[in-house]
Structure 1
Amino acid sequence: MDWSPDSARNAYLDTVKLCNQQENNCSCSTTEPESKEFISALAAGMNAKLIVEVTPEASSSTIALAAAARQTGGKLVCILPEPRLDKSQKVIDDSGLNDMVEFKTGDPVDVLPNYENIDFSLVDCKTDNYANFLELLDVNPTRSVVVADNLAEGRKGLEGHVKGMENKGKVRSMKHPIGKGMEVTMIGKSNDATWKRNQSKGSYSSRARGGSGKKGGGKSKWVIKIDEKSGEEHIFRMT
C-alpha cells in the first residue's frame, strides 16, 4: 500500500469539518483536538480498508476513522463493550457516516478474533483490559498500523511486540506527544516499514512514500513533510 497524500489531506479536512459540526451538541466522550485529525490522515494516507476501533463509546476518534474509511472505500468496525448503542449511533447518524461504520457490541476479547488482516486499528487504553485487546489484534502482515491511544499514567502500548509477527517482518513502535499519549506501531516488510525516531527538537520520522501534508486542530498543529528522495516522513508539532 503506497502513501496517498491526497487521501490523507482529504480525510483530515473532512474530520475537521465533521467534528466542528458535532462539537456543540455532542454528548460523546472527548478526544484531544490534535489526535483525531492525526489518526484520520494516517489511516487514509496508508489506504486502510479494514479499520477496527475498540472504545467504550463512539467519540470524535470514531468520526475521524469513519472519515478515513470514506476516503479509502473501506469500513470501520467499532467494537463497544456495552450493549446499548443509543449514544454511539447518534454520533454517527449526526455525522452522516452510517455507511462507513459497523458497530459490534460485546466483550472485545470475544469479538476481536472475528477480524483478520486488519489494516489499521485503534485501541482506547483508558479501559483496564486494553493490553489484552492489543494482543488479540490480527494485523495485516504486509503493512498495517496499530494505535494505542490515551496512554496516560504510565500505561504501555505494544512497544514493538506484535503477536504473530515474530520473524515475519518489521515492527516498530513510536510514542508521540499527541493527546494524552499515543503510541503508533507500524508493521510491514523490512524494506517497507522502517521507522526511526529523530531526536532533534522532538520530531519523529518514519519510512513512507508520497508528498507532504498538514494536520492540525485545537492548540497545536502537526506538519508532515516527506522527503521524496529518501522516502522519510518527518512529523513536527507546531504550537
Structure 2
Amino acid sequence: MKLVWSPETASKAYIQTVQSCRVFRESGVAELVSAMAAGWKAQLIVETWSEGGAMATSVGLAVARGHTGGRHVCVVPDERSRSEYAERMAEAGMRAEMAVGEAEEVMEGLAGGDFMVVDSTRDDFSRVLGLAKLSAKGAVLICKNVNSGVNGFGWRSVAEGASRRLVRSVFLPVGKGLDIAHVSAVGASAAKRWIKHIDQQSGEVHVIRR
C-alpha cells in the first residue's frame, strides 16, 4: 500500500486555506502544505511549533485534517507554548490537538505519521525527524524556514534508518524556503536506474544498471 494523490481534495483544501488565512497576510506556505496534506489524504499530520511562531501553516494543516478525516497534532516544547498555540488556534476557529515535551518523549506516541511539517528554527527539528515513527505506507516530510544554502537535512538517512528509500526531494523558494521529501513505504526496494556513459576516446556508449 502507498500514498495516493487526490487532486480534488487538494484543491478544496487549498481554496479553504486561502480563505481562512487572509487575516495572517503571510506567504503561500500554508496553502501549499494544506493542499499537499489533503491531496495525500494524510491520516496523521504532525507539525512542530514553538512560542511566537507563525500560525498560518497550522491553520492550513487543520483545514487539511478536516478534509481527510484524520488527526492533526502539534508538537510543542513546553506548557507556555501549548497555551499560546491553543489560544491562537481557537481565535482562528480551529481545534487544536497537542503533544507537549521533548522530541524523545512525544514522538514515541505519534506512530503512523504520514505527513510532517517541522520548523528549522527549532533547535531539535532534525532530532524530531530522526525520531519520527512514520506510516508503513510512506510519508511526506517538510522542513520550513529553510534558505537555499542549506541542503538535505539527512533525508536519506531518515528514510534508510526506517528500512525505506528516499523517493524524491525538492527545495521550493516558497515563503522562507521549503525542503520537501517523499519517503517510501516500509521495505520498498530502491528504484533501479540506467546510467549512460560515453567513452571519450572510443566513442562507445556503455549503459549500466544501478
Q: TM-score scaled to structure 1, two decimals?
A: 0.69
Distance in 1 separating the partners of 2:137 and 2:28 = 28
Deviation at 1:169, TM superposition (A): 4.2
Report the counterpart of residue 82 of structure 1 in structure 2. 78
For 1:95, the aligned partner's letter is A
Which residue is equivalent to 1:19?
21
Question: Contact (CA 8 Å) 2:164, 2:183: kept in 1 or not?
Answer: no
How far off its partner does 1:182 sit? 1.1
2:47 corresponds to = 53
Q: 1:18 to 1:112 in 2, by over 3 A?
A: same
The separation in 2 between residues aligned to 1:112 and 1:154, in whole angstroms, is 28
Match for residue 148 of structure 1 among 128, 143, 147: 143
Shift of residue 166, structure 1, vs aligned partner = 5.6
In structure 2, C-alpha distance between the alignment counterparts of 1:106 and 1:166, rounded to whole Å: 23
The alignment partner of 2:156 has SS state of coil
Q: In the alignment, what sits opposite 2:199?
A: none
The match for 1:230 is none
Indicate the RMSD between aligned Cα atoms, in angstroms. 2.5
**Match for 2:172: what amino acid?**
H
Cα contact 2:147–2:177 (8 A) shared by 1: yes
Report % sequence identity.
Answer: 30
Output one character per residue of 1:155-201: Cα deviation in whole Å (capped at 9) or x when no partner.
4423433255565444322111111121111012569x99xxxxxxx
In structure 2, relative to structure 1, the CA distance for the partners of 1:120 and 1:64 (3 Å cut) is same
Contact 1:160 1:173 in 2 (8 A): no
Is contact 2:159–2:183 with CA below 8 Å preserved after alignment?
no
In the alignment, which of 76, 93, 97 is matched to residue 96 of structure 1?
93
**Which residues of structure 1 form unaligned runs of 5+?**
25-31, 195-239
Distance 1:179 1:129, change over 3 A: same
1:69 aligned partner: 65
Change beyond 3 A, Cα 1:152–1:15: same
Whether the aligned pair in 1 keeps the contact of 2:171 and 2:179 (CA below 8 Å) is yes
Shift of 1:97: 2.0
SS in 1 for 2:158: coil
Report whether the alignment pairs 1:106 with 2:93: no
Could you say which structure has the larger radius of gyration? 2
User: Per-residue deviation at 1:112?
Assistant: 1.2
The 2-side partners of 1:153 and 1:80 are apart by 26
Structure 2 residue runs of 5 or longer lacking an equivalent are 193-210
Structure 2 counterpart of 1:161: 157
Which whole-Å CA distance do the structure 1 matches of 2:49 and 2:104 have between them? 13
In 2, the alpha carbon distance for the partners of 1:160 and 1:172 equals: 10
Partner of 2:12: 10
Paired AA for residue 74 in structure 1: G
User: Are the equivalent residues in 2 in contact too, given 1:141–1:187 (CA < 8 A)?
Assistant: no
CA distance in structure 1 between the aligned counterparts of 2:167 and 2:108, rounded to whole angstroms? 21
- Is the contact between residue 123 and residue 149 of structure 1 (CA under 8 Å) also seen in structure 2? yes
- Indicate the SS of the match to 1:162: helix
Distance 1:164 1:138 in 2: 13
Match of 2:177 in 1: 181
Closer, same or farther: CA 55–155 of 1 in aligned 2, 3 Å: farther
Please tell me whether residue 42 in structure 1 is matched to residue 36 in structure 2: yes
CA deviations on 1:33-59 (whole Å, 9 max, x unpaired) are: 111111000000000010000121461
